[in-house]
Chain A
Amino acid sequence: MERTFIPSDYLPIIVQSAVALGFVVVTMALTHYIGGKRKRIRTLRKDENFECGIEVKGNARFPFSVKYFLIAILFVLFDVEIIFFYPWAINFKEFGWDGFWEMLLFLFFLLFGFYYIYKKGALNWEE
């Protein structure tokens, strides 16, 4: 069963849109009209951000050196690697010489990474 729509079928949608828009416009206009003429006392300082009464200096969004972030991340990295030494140290006798060579290999990789970042200049704070 085919049903055709003629443009007048969409009239309710137009009416609803008009009511929605009209409500917003009328409300906004009315609040200005009935709001009264007395105004609260406002000052420049009152509109500032509240920073516990301390004067705001500068902007919170400013560029800063990425070096700190780099050093901090590298510290976390090497700091976490230390954790692997603890179980090894506790089971030192059970692992014997095999464990020792394996740990030395791990240490070599770790120090190779350290050598790499050192050569790259990641730890050079002055640059």
Chain B
Amino acid sequence: MGAIKPIYTKADPPEGYSAPGVFATTFDKVIGLARSNSIWPLPFATSCCGIEFMATMGAHYDLGRFGAERLSFSPRQADLLMVMGTIAKKMGPVVQQVYEQMAEPRWVIAVGACASSGGIFDTYSVLQGIDRIVPVDVYVPGCPPRPEQIIDGFMRIQDLVASEPLRRRYSDEYRELLIKYGILKNE
């Protein structure tokens, strides 16, 4: 049997000027590249989408390939809040506080129909999408989504992370965004 040579792909270099032995680009791009390939997710799994996430983290789908090997169960070290499952209205403030306590920069992915829109639970007790309490960057459809879909959503997050300007989190627009969600009180 002929040995199969594995093909390892490295992260693509960002745009920049290259010469022999020299590569020049902006901090935004280099730091974005590093950040997007070392995202530490915080799994907030409340129902069946969480089970799909377990498969995503497992050996078969292996989210660790994307630099997300290390799950963070404290928001202090997390970069990405992955909300997976139905969020009841009673759970809303909990999600919001977990988001608020994450260190910046931080991103949010809503996995599954429930987290994105409330899904089939159009009732008095269920939050109709987590974007009512926290700003969401990527929505993953599905009930529940397959691991491939979760990975696809994660890669879209990576695109966002890679292209985010370093000063965005200091900007007035970002401040206004947080005020809009009631996370930051208007002074």
Residues of A in contact (CB 8 Å), total: 13
Q: A38-B170, A50-B75 are in contact. Are A43 and B95 (CB under 8 A)?
A: no
Nearest Cβ distance between residue A37 and chain B, in whole angstroms? Answer: 10
Let me know if A41 and B94 touch, CB within 8 A.
no
Let me know if A53 and B98 touch, CB within 8 A.
yes
Let me know if A46 and B94 touch, CB within 8 A.
no
Find chain B residues with CB under 8 A from A55 CB.
97
Find chain B residues with CB under 8 A from A39 CB.
170
Candidates A38, A40, A41, A45; contact of B101 at CB < 8 Å:
A45
Find chain A residues with CB under 8 A from B170 CB.
38-40
Chain A CB within 10 Å — which of B93, B100, B174, B184 has the most?
Answer: B100
Q: By DSSP majority rule, is chain B's interface helix, strand, loop, or mixed?
A: helix
Is A54 among interface residues, defined by CB-CB distance under 8 A? yes
Is B132 among interface residues, defined by CB-CB distance under 8 A? no
Is B104 among interface residues, defined by CB-CB distance under 8 A? yes
Q: A46-B101, A50-B76 are in contact. Are A41 and B95 (CB under 8 A)?
A: no
Which residues of A pack against B, CB within 8 Å?
Answer: 38-41, 43, 45-46, 48, 50, 52-55
* 5 A–B contacts from the bound complex (CB under 8 Å): A38-B170, A40-B169, A40-B170, A45-B101, A53-B95
